[in-house]
Chains A and B, each alone.
Chain A
């Protein structure tokens, strides 16, 4: 659990063997990181560093981050402006060309309906990214507000929230999707996003609750309270900035899984439905013809797998950067 608040000065400690080794490393590197003038006066180093600049410093050197970041950047660009790399129309299909293989101007060939697989794969990214980003934002906001408040105030609300999240954890996601989404007739991405937020927030709320509880025990929160700070001040200024890191990490990884979930639901026919363009729909449509036209299945599946992997890798890299103790 990345619940502990990140402490920059202990960052160099914390490898292996628990307490004893931490002592060694933290003794080796005195907790100040500042050179001193020749006269012994106290003079901190030039560059002020915060958690984020420290994390950024780490991320920039992490090949996993660079690779996954590039993939994600590419995905975002093509979902905003798909026409940059695909000139065709994903809905313009020619049944005469159904299941044909790769040919000039159509590098990925055609699917069962004779639609260009390349164009559809490019346009499918838009749906996936939109669903992933919106669902994650919704989950993160709802989950961290509910979890954070429960962790901060504790008591009855906290107990209630814990039971409610237990109930939600008991719902199997795919089965829930089949039941809930089958009654929806709208063919927009919003019911799918709504469903994901509904089932996804308990995960974030648990993380947020835990890290708020850890952060609120710190003396600096007590110090603010002793000064007479209001609850909102303590929450926003002292607790939230110190509790947000694990939420970001989990949300990034969740983003990948929401994209996969959208594809799953669309594949099962309860997510998006044609004429929407989505990798899930294409995978579903192509799977009966796997023998004759494997390319129609391969490309959208490959794009989906790559996207999910990129987000999970990004989440891992972000976690390493924000909480080096887990390494």
Chain B
């Protein structure tokens, strides 16, 4: 199981801020992603959570090569894909596919469903011989739970959930090994979300897929992920197996995030400790010195402004072997239970 299929190493994406009409000069940079490391093993799901503007979508776009990193490497089976171009890049692209957030804008309204799902075959003709494509498209529709007779319909004839299935079918067409899903269910209704998540889990087993699942909804990420990375302002601040993050968080940001999630259980509201963070996320053009979370952190001390905390198992837990011993980028990491642990009936 522990065979890394995709690795990000010190991944950075800065967008330069230009000023001037004729002679543009750089006056700063939006540090959307500012040094992200992770590994994705074959067949597992890595969840990346964070609030809007934390850079999680930029990470997704870099992974599927829609955006070139400013620096850092993305290793696919040990090979740095950021340096590839031409045919080699196309071959890698085949193996890393993306599912988009908005099922309404991610399908071309002028193309039939058959053309949309068949387009990957047009671009990579080596995957399926021409005569075989229609059958393949219908098979894909069937796989994602849609009627194969829908090939001639247009996207607007489908509901959001069905459209997302079409988007997933397009992602599956080339039989990729990795799927990067950027908020794939956040635009869907609650009852439809569950359908799509179940579909994604079923497909993962069926096709031996590895997922990078990016979302802001912590409950969904816990449900689908094997490992979780929590992002804040362009960096992963805490990472570990799902139980380590959710039941034994050590980074104050993770704790605040988890405590803020409303739990669908009215009994919990009286005896739940809520950590309400003050202020807003700082601008990614002007990231605080030292620990980037310190401006909103209730534990912040002088050291936090001076020293950047590394994403490693904190000193306090280095000897321990329990679930609290996982990488957390905090100088003062301590375990805290914030999710009410209700025993399932």
- Cα of A228 to Cα of B122 in the assembled complex, Å: 10
Interfacial chain B residues near A219, Cβ < 8 Å: 100-102, 105-106
A44 interface residue per 8 A CB criterion: yes
Contact of B157 among A33, A51, A230, A233 (CB under 8 A): A33
Interfacial chain A residues near B272, Cβ < 8 Å: none
In the complex, identify which listed stretch (B147-155, B241-249, B312-320) lies at the interface while the others stay far away: B147-155
Nearest-neighbour CB distance to chain B for A17, whole angstroms, equals: 21
Interfacial chain A residues near B109, Cβ < 8 Å: 5-8, 51, 242
Report whether B156 and A9 are in contact in the complex, using a CB–CB cutoff of 8 Å. Answer: yes
- A228/B93 contact (C-beta < 8 A), A8-B156, A34-B157, A42-B162 known: yes
- A226/B65 contact (C-beta < 8 A), A48-B153, A242-B110 known: yes
Nearest-neighbour CB distance to chain A for B133, whole angstroms, equals: 15
Q: CB-defined interface of B158-170 with A at 8 Å, one 1/0 digit per residue?
A: 1110100001001
Instruction: Find residues 217-243 in chain A having any chain B CB closer than 8 Å to their own CB.
Output: 218-220, 222-230, 233, 237-238, 241-242
Q: CB-defined interface of B168-183 with A at 8 Å, one 1/0 digit per residue?
A: 0010001000000000
Contact of A32 among B65, B152, B162 (CB under 8 A): B162
Nearest-neighbour CB distance to chain A for B188, whole angstroms, equals: 11
- Cα of A229 to Cα of B147 in the assembled complex, Å: 27
Contact of A228 among B104, B110, B112, B124 (CB under 8 A): B124
B123 interface residue per 8 A CB criterion: yes
- Residues of B within 8 Å of A, CB-based: how many? 43
A31 interface residue per 8 A CB criterion: yes
Interfacial chain B residues near A327, Cβ < 8 Å: none
A103 interface residue per 8 A CB criterion: no
- A223/B100 contact (C-beta < 8 A), A32-B162, A228-B90, A229-B123 known: yes
Report whether B123 and A48 are in contact in the complex, using a CB–CB cutoff of 8 Å. Answer: no
B120 interface residue per 8 A CB criterion: yes
Interfacial chain A residues near B98, Cβ < 8 Å: 223, 226
Report whether B123 and A228 are in contact in the complex, using a CB–CB cutoff of 8 Å. Answer: yes
| Chain B, residue nearest A7 (CB) | B109
Interfacial chain A residues near B122, Cβ < 8 Å: 233
Report whether B93 and A227 are in contact in the complex, using a CB–CB cutoff of 8 Å. Answer: yes
Q: Mostly helix, strand, loop or mixed at chain A's interface?
A: loop
Contact of A44 among B65, B90, B153 (CB under 8 A): B153
Interfacial chain B residues near A8, Cβ < 8 Å: 109, 154, 156
B268 interface residue per 8 A CB criterion: no
- Cα of A214 to Cα of B89 in the assembled complex, Å: 27
Report whether B66 and A31 are in contact in the complex, using a CB–CB cutoff of 8 Å. Answer: no
- A32/B157 contact (C-beta < 8 A), A227-B93, A238-B108 known: yes
Interfacial chain B residues near A238, Cβ < 8 Å: 108
Most buried by B among A49, A228, A229: A228
Contact of B100 among A43, A44, A222, A237 (CB under 8 A): A222
Interfacial chain B residues near A45, Cβ < 8 Å: 157
A50 interface residue per 8 A CB criterion: yes
- Cα of A112 to Cα of B116 in the assembled complex, Å: 65
- A226/B64 contact (C-beta < 8 A), A9-B156, A42-B146 known: yes
Instruction: Find residues 230-273 in chain B having any chain A CB closer than 8 Å to their own CB.
Output: none
B139 interface residue per 8 A CB criterion: no
| Chain A, residue nearest B173 (CB) | A227
Report whether B94 and A228 are in contact in the complex, using a CB–CB cutoff of 8 Å. Answer: yes
- A44/B66 contact (C-beta < 8 A), A218-B105, A228-B89 known: no
Nearest-neighbour CB distance to chain A for B108, whole angstroms, equals: 4
Nearest-neighbour CB distance to chain B for A26, whole angstroms, equals: 10
Q: CB-defined interface of A200-230 with B at 8 Å, one 1/0 digit per residue?
A: 0000000000000000001110111111111
The list of the 10 closest CB pairs from A to B, nearest first, reads: A219-B106, A32-B159, A241-B110, A220-B108, A9-B156, A8-B156, A219-B105, A228-B93, A44-B157, A228-B90
Interchain residue pairs with CB less than 8 A apart (22): A7-B156, A9-B104, A31-B104, A31-B160, A32-B158, A33-B157, A34-B158, A42-B147, A44-B158, A45-B157, A48-B157, A219-B100, A219-B106, A223-B100, A226-B97, A227-B120, A227-B124, A228-B93, A228-B94, A230-B123, A237-B111, A237-B119
- Apart from A219-B101, A229-B123, list 17 A-B contacts with CB within 8 A: A31-B156, A32-B159, A42-B162, A44-B153, A218-B106, A219-B105, A222-B66, A223-B107, A224-B108, A224-B123, A226-B65, A226-B97, A233-B122, A241-B108, A241-B110, A242-B108, A242-B109
Q: Which residues of A contact B (CB under 8 A)?
A: 5-9, 30-34, 42-45, 48-51, 218-220, 222-230, 233, 237-238, 241-242
